[in-house]
Structure 1
């Protein structure tokens, strides 16, 4: 896979000192990072195969500062890349050599918790888990729970429309965000949505959620908080093959049962997770299904019996139901730690993210194994089985010549396979740069042109996060608009290591 970013504008690079001084005037003290040593932590995100040093990193603390930064950059033709906690797995926050990296980590306050309306109002740098921690004493929680929830920020969750293990029943970020404050590239501050459940106008909030920093910078988020279920139980179900586990998933959903969570790990991932957290996972199974059910006791008893019967019909070889909250959390601990645990299996891994119709799980998982063998690589599968959101972890060693290229080619083939069976390129990690050049596999030129018209409506000068999502970024005038601006520069190779 060839990954490239816009070539740096030498005119902007020549103005670097002036740009840094302008930013320091807006964000004084330690809010502007310009020394190469200080910029190192910002040169990549969790997609660590690529690095690019930003022109400077600017770390505002207020909405007014964000507005001033964007307005200045708009007036002086400087590109801006928004960044949350840097946990992106698609290169969405990869910096530009001739652009400002706008880090929002210092905007980390919980502004208000409104239990009567069951919402929390937070700044974008608040971590996902911190929202639940802030409300759990009153019996509430925030439902979307990515594996990186201890570190990932809510602003980044909005940008990528993040999911998590409990999103099968309770929805993705877009289903749990009620409103945002958004700063446009011009510096204008707008609000979309609010504390009400549904807006009466165009669903611009839905457009912004998952827009990957291309449309504006989120500076405040109003999220839905939910009462904690009265009862929750986790089931560990082992299967003799990935195919039988996949069929069980399809049969459970087909029976009209929507568990709170439904996750699967293959033998490689189970072994790594058990070695990492030692929670008692069975090591003699080819696939392990973790199913969580919640509600009142009678409901949980009924669902546990129904799921057990379906699992038995699909050749399950082991089945455990958590007996208390400590055991339930232990069952989940291995799944939550699966990504770092897989680091025991190889020096590096490449985390993919594609979504498929559930009925195709057995076929797709079998094909992934065949494709991996053809490329001479191993794959550990950890994924949200209930909604068909796959996360194949391609194992490789970056120190071995050619292995990264083979891993990327295998990743491309897996994503093409997802599209072929009626799925999509991403379920929650976003397109970023990782999947950008695969967008034509899923969308026609007309589709992409209409998507870019939305980009032009918010950012006509194409200064926000350029080089991401769209394989070719056309001038807005070319898309039928009246704006005429400097054209897109060529795309050379981005430095890799």
Structure 2
């Protein structure tokens, strides 16, 4: 599957004697849990992008940072690639292993080290679940704002690696806006701290550079996050529309009115019906699209904002606008949205979840374009997305058992991402590039930009052992993909071509 996997990655990696490496690890780190039998390795063949599988050479399950540092030092000496993995909920193949590398699973680092209500921060290990941070902070009236739909399972280390978002990121920001400090280990096993607990830290903003780097620059060992006071009041409006284009225009009009909702989510009819059948959230199943708009803050402000949003939605063509009657109904509305992915999974044997971002003004046109592409490829697409910040999640339904459908789904996904780029957007908003979108990186970035990305990677990881073959395509690959031109026929960093 060339779109998701470049055979040059594993094919060009140096061969390592597996038995000799296993022996060396046992000698160097005798108490490090290692999996090496086929039946032990099989559960780690994939992450959330489960259609694509690779069996790792070895799986390491460290419990102490000294074990992680020792493993990294040995892998650096031996030239063995390392792929970090957290909870395995990623959706871009970023944590897919290599058959000539070690899968470093950080899931056992799951301690909440400190909750400081005065400073409004939490110090946590990378394996801590996203939702567990808010649960630990709740007794102090605080919470952690970024809330991916997988927050019950996904780990904070993976959230930092992918710069995860969530349904409330419009008002409260992505992971990068809510992390103060990251402690990490380099590929040489050396500790490094990026950022600080202060409002600012000296030097270049390496924390922002590291956030979203998909395990290519270092291994996360600790994260310090901001905690926010829980809003005293939160209300949700549900608006129904006769077309997705109308709903898309309503999103832009809400923001243009100077209102920044806590969350602003959109679902089309296919997603509405799936979620309603699964969760019974009370969605209008005959609507072609719905918007969920949450407004939070103090009582007086929320009351006024609800009235203003109601007026904007009605003027934008909403056929019905409902205010959640109580907290239970508000939670049902959100449960339907947050369970949309598994709900859509009940409609088809397989689906392919995309993750493009566009300017809000382009929403109606892109939705129309997605439908035209879906018709051209004879596949159904359910649209579920963070409408307020233009982060789209088209879910392409297909059956991998039918010849050619997987390839059509991949091709359609690529075209949707290229449409997002053409409209001034990006190929990812929160899921990352991983292996899934590596060809579309060629469509979004120029020769010079990709050269700079490779230089940044080389500064942190000169041997390119951390998560190789992900995120940044080689210039040769882009030339083959036909999306860019190689400057004067020369490839900078010739050694990169091993990946």
TM-score (norm 2): 0.94
CA distance in 2, matches of 1:182, 1:244: 46
2:215 partner SS: coil
Q: Could you tell me which residue of structure 2 aligns to residue 303 of structure 1?
A: 305
Residue among 239, 242, 251 paired with 1:240: 242
Q: Is the 8 A contact 2:109 2:127 kept in 1?
A: yes
2:498 partner SS: coil
Q: Could you tell me which residue of structure 2 aligns to residue 279 of structure 1?
A: 281
Task: Compute the displacement of 1:11 (Å).
Answer: 5.6
CA distance in 2, matches of 1:9, 1:241: 50
2:10 partner SS: coil
Confirm or deny that 1:489 pairs with 2:498: yes
Task: Compute the displacement of 1:7 (Å).
Answer: 2.5
Task: Compute the displacement of 1:219 (Å).
Answer: 0.5
CA distance in 1, matches of 2:104, 2:132: 22
Q: Could you tell me which residue of structure 1 aligns to residue 372 of structure 2?
A: 370
Task: Compute the displacement of 1:272 (Å).
Answer: 0.3
Residues 487/369 of structure 1: CA separation in 2 closer, same or farther (3 Å cut) = closer
Task: Compute the displacement of 1:8 (Å).
Answer: 4.3
Residues 240/27 of structure 1: CA separation in 2 closer, same or farther (3 Å cut) = farther
Task: Compute the displacement of 1:345 (Å).
Answer: 1.1
Cα-Cα RMSD: 1.6
Residue among 398, 420, 443 paired with 1:396: 398
Confirm or deny that 1:7 pairs with 2:16: no
TM-score (norm 1): 0.94
CA distance in 2, matches of 1:113, 1:393: 37
Task: Compute the displacement of 1:26 (Å).
Answer: 5.1
Q: Is the 8 A contact 2:32 2:60 kept in 1?
A: no
Map 1:177-326 → 2, pairs under 5 A: 177-326=179-328
Residues 440/480 of structure 1: CA separation in 2 closer, same or farther (3 Å cut) = closer
Residue among 353, 356, 360 paired with 2:355: 353
Residue among 64, 85, 89 paired with 1:62: 64
Task: Compute the displacement of 1:229 (Å).
Answer: 0.2
CA distance in 2, matches of 1:141, 1:236: 24
2:135 partner SS: helix
Map 1:73-88 → 2, pairs under 5 A: 73-88=75-90
Q: Is the 8 A contact 2:83 2:103 kept in 1?
A: yes
Deviating above 4 A after TM superposition, structure 1's stretches of 4 or more consecutive aligned residues are 8-11, 25-30, 478-481
CA distance in 2, matches of 1:480, 1:351: 34
Q: Could you tell me which residue of structure 1 aligns to residue 428 of structure 2?
A: 426
Q: Is the 8 A contact 2:48 2:89 kept in 1?
A: yes
1:320 partner SS: strand
CA distance in 2, matches of 1:18, 1:38: 19
Task: Compute the displacement of 1:22 (Å).
Answer: 2.8
Structure 1 gap segments, 5+ residues each: 491-497
Q: Is the 8 A contact 1:27 1:59 kept in 2?
A: no
CA offsets 1:304-348 (integer angstroms, 9 cap, x no match): 011110100111111111232222111101001000000121110
Residue among 95, 106, 109 paired with 2:108: 106
Task: Compute the displacement of 1:479 (Å).
Answer: 8.5
Task: Compute the displacement of 1:376 (Å).
Answer: 0.5
Q: Could you tell me which residue of structure 1 aligns to residue 481 of structure 2?
A: none
Q: Is the 8 A contact 2:32 2:62 kept in 1?
A: no
Q: Is the 8 A contact 2:94 2:214 kept in 1?
A: yes
Q: Could you tell me which residue of structure 2 aligns to residue 23 of structure 1?
A: 25
CA distance in 1, matches of 2:14, 2:335: 51
Q: Is the 8 A contact 1:179 1:223 kept in 2?
A: yes
CA offsets 1:196-241 (integer angstroms, 9 cap, x no match): 1221210000110000011000110000011100100111111111
CA offsets 1:245-276 (integer angstroms, 9 cap, x no match): 00100000111110000000000000000000
Q: Is the 8 A contact 1:437 1:470 kept in 2?
A: no
Confirm or deny that 1:451 pairs with 2:453: yes
Residues 98/402 of structure 1: CA separation in 2 closer, same or farther (3 Å cut) = same
Q: Could you tell me which residue of structure 1 aligns to residue 470 of structure 2?
A: 468
CA offsets 1:138-187 (integer angstroms, 9 cap, x no match): 21110000001111100000000000000000000000000010100011
CA distance in 2, matches of 1:199, 1:480: 33
CA distance in 2, matches of 1:246, 1:431: 26
1:181 partner SS: strand
1:316 partner SS: coil
2:150 partner SS: coil
